[in-house]
A and B are shown apart, each in its own frame.
Chain A
């Protein structure tokens, strides 16, 4: 059974609105509504929280064709700004020592899904190759294939990057916890970036640079590492 173009457009519009509304309402309920329901939350904060929800709903209402700017103004800028205003107005009610880690984590996921919801959807039945601007010709083949073991290295690095992120939740001291999360995020990003370099760089560099030159390139960090290792051994045996 063929899908009518009008039905397809309607389904696309529904999906577009739902992509904005569902994650937005979820993030709002967990990170905005829940704290304003706590004792001690001010009236102004509650009003701002209500306006944030109204702004999100308006953004979804203006989701129809040709009203993209209104949709973005209410659904994104207005909603986010009013949510931030609510958090600022909450003051001590939203202090770090009063946050529940699980709720905070779920809220962060909600906001991430909300951000993804702003992505574009492909129209039903749309074939990219049939676009009038498409460059005709045979499919472009990659100039080189990935070196052996590139994917396992990257997968292992992504898994390893998640470990410090999880361990950071064990830190209970207030400022140290913040530092631990910052370090864990930086380490995770650096690990994945470096692993990608290592994974694809092996095949590319080895035929060009001799091994001695490559070792020479890493001489400084390796020397510092050796100093650190000796210091660690001295501290371990001395103390």
Chain B
């Protein structure tokens, strides 16, 4: 299961790179709303990818 989460994290990282590229490309195509959509998606994908790995202390 741990390896699956690792692979999921790498997949999210790859998708975030694609999302950022699509966001900047949409800006070039003058499709601002779509650009915003992809940029926010890229940010969330990247955040998810690192949150899956980052150890967080237990709050007891």
Using a CB–CB distance below 8 Å, which chain A residues touch chain B?
A: 153, 156-157, 160-161, 163-164, 167-168, 170-173, 176, 179-180, 183-184, 187, 190-191, 194-195, 197-198, 201-202, 204-212, 214-215, 217-218, 220-222, 224-225, 228-229, 232
* Complex: A198 Cα to B28 Cα, angstroms: 30
Beta-carbon contact of A184 and B30 below 8 Å: no
The B interface is mostly helix, strand or loop, or mixed, namely helix
* Complex: A194 Cα to B53 Cα, angstroms: 10
Beta-carbon contact of B27 and A180 below 8 Å: yes
Interface size class of B (residues with CB under 8 A): 35 or more
The A interface is mostly helix, strand or loop, or mixed, namely helix
Beta-carbon contact of B20 and A164 below 8 Å: yes
Which residues of the partner chain B approach A217 to less than 8 Å between Cβ atoms? 51-52, 54, 56
Q: Which of B46-60 contact A (CB under 8 A)?
A: 46-56
* Complex: A168 Cα to B37 Cα, angstroms: 17
Contact (A201, B46) CB under 8 Å given A163-B17, A170-B28, A211-B2: no
Known: A201-B54, A217-B51. 12 other contacts (CB 8 A): A164-B23, A172-B28, A180-B28, A184-B20, A190-B46, A194-B13, A194-B49, A205-B53, A206-B6, A217-B56, A225-B45, A232-B37
Using a CB–CB distance below 8 Å, which chain B residues touch chain A?
A: 1-6, 9-10, 13-14, 16-18, 20-21, 23-25, 27-28, 30, 32, 37, 39-56
10 contacts across the A-B interface (CB closer than 8 A): A164-B20, A167-B24, A168-B27, A170-B28, A187-B20, A222-B44, A222-B48, A225-B41, A228-B44, A232-B41
Beta-carbon contact of A206 and B56 below 8 Å: no
* Complex: A164 Cα to B19 Cα, angstroms: 10
Question: Shortest CB–CB separation between residue A71 and chain B, in angstroms?
Answer: 41
Chain A residue at smallest Cβ distance from B47:
A221
Question: Shortest CB–CB separation between residue B5 and chain A, in angstroms?
Answer: 5
Residue among B5, B25, B44 making CB contact with A211, cutoff 8 Å? B5
Which residues of the partner chain B approach A220 to less than 8 Å between Cβ atoms? 51
Which residues of the partner chain A approach B2 to less than 8 Å between Cβ atoms? 206-207, 210-211, 214
* Complex: A228 Cα to B48 Cα, angstroms: 14
Contact (A206, B55) CB under 8 Å given A157-B17, A194-B13: no
* Complex: A180 Cα to B25 Cα, angstroms: 9
